[in-house]
């Protein structure tokens, strides 16, 4: 009798886990919604069937290096920018994804609405890169790079390109402008 109850309990747990649908806005190290690090360019239209897709297509060899695929909500708001690993190749996998839409969140709740304090509380910061107009915060745990506009920083830190940023330099309330997931690097 005890074995039967235990077996039924295990079976119920297994069946309930099988029915768990993939969150279309969840971000992890190897996927963002239904898009994975092994998804090919040719499959993007079926994944984002209810959204608008804008591809740069060119026969001009001078423009062949630009190959971003932009994903828009039906209302016209840009959600994602996908960069394939190989130019003009439908079998190429995605190399990086720029996340612009706040609906997309990591398992720890980080989105484009988050602040530097949220990132540093949720993840170990691997590196901080000083760029011309922004600061990029790298998190290896999820292969992400969070971009904060330098306008969010104190004025004395905005223009020094030689400054090696530390976590203490960035205000807790500095907002994320967007972030990248970097795959296949």
Distance CA 123, CA 100 (A): 20
10: left (phi over 0), alpha (psi -120 to 50) or beta: alpha
pLDDT tens digits in sequence order for the chain, 185 residues long: 555 555 455 445 555 555 557 788 899 888 998 898 898 888 888 888 888 888 755 554 455 566 789 999 888 899 999 999 888 788 889 999 999 999 999 999 999 999 999 999 999 999 999 999 999 999 999 999 999 999 999 988 888 888 888 999 999 999 999 999 998 76
Question: How many other C-beta atoms lie within 10 A of the C-beta of residue 36?
Answer: 15
Q: Where are the domains of the chain?
A: 26-182
For residue 79, give the nearest of 119, 42, 50, 115 by alpha carbon.
50
Distances (CA, A) of 115 to 22, 70, 142: 26, 25, 17
Which pTM does this prediction carry?
Answer: 0.80
Largest interatomic CA distance in the chain: 74
Report the alpha-carbon angle 89-97-170, nearest 5.
Answer: 150
Grouping H, G, I as helix, E, B as strand and the rest as coil, residue 105 is: strand
CATH number of 26-182, picked from 2.60.460.10, 1.10.3130.10, 1.10.3720.10, 3.40.50.10740: 2.60.460.10
* 3-class DSSP assignment, residue 143: coil
Instruction: Answer for the pair 179, 96: CB distance below 8 angstroms, yes or no.
Output: no
């Amino acid at each position: 009798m005890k074995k039967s109850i235990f077996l039924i309990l295990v079976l119920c747990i297994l069946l309930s886990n099988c029915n768990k649908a993939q969150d279309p806005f969840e971000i992890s190290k190897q996927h963002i919604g239904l898009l994975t690090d092994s998804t090919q360019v040719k499959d993007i239209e079926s994944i984002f069937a209810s959204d608008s897709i804008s591809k740069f297509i060119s026969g001009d060899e001078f423009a062949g290096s630009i190959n971003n695929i932009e994903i828009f909500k039906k209302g016209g708001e840009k959600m994602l920018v996908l960069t394939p690993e190989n130019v003009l190749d439908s079998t190429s996998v995605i190399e990086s994804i720029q996340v612009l839409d706040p609906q997309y969140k990591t398992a720890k709740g980080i989105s484009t609405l988050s602040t530097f304090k949220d990132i540093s509380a949720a993840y170990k910061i691997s590196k901080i890169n000083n760029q011309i107009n922004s600061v990029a915060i790298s998190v290896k745990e999820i292969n992400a790079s969070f971009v904060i506009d330098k306008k969010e920083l104190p004025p004395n830190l905005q223009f020094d390109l030689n400054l090696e940023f530390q976590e203490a330099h960035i205000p807790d309330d500095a907002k994320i402008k967007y972030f990248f997931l970097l795959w296949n690097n």
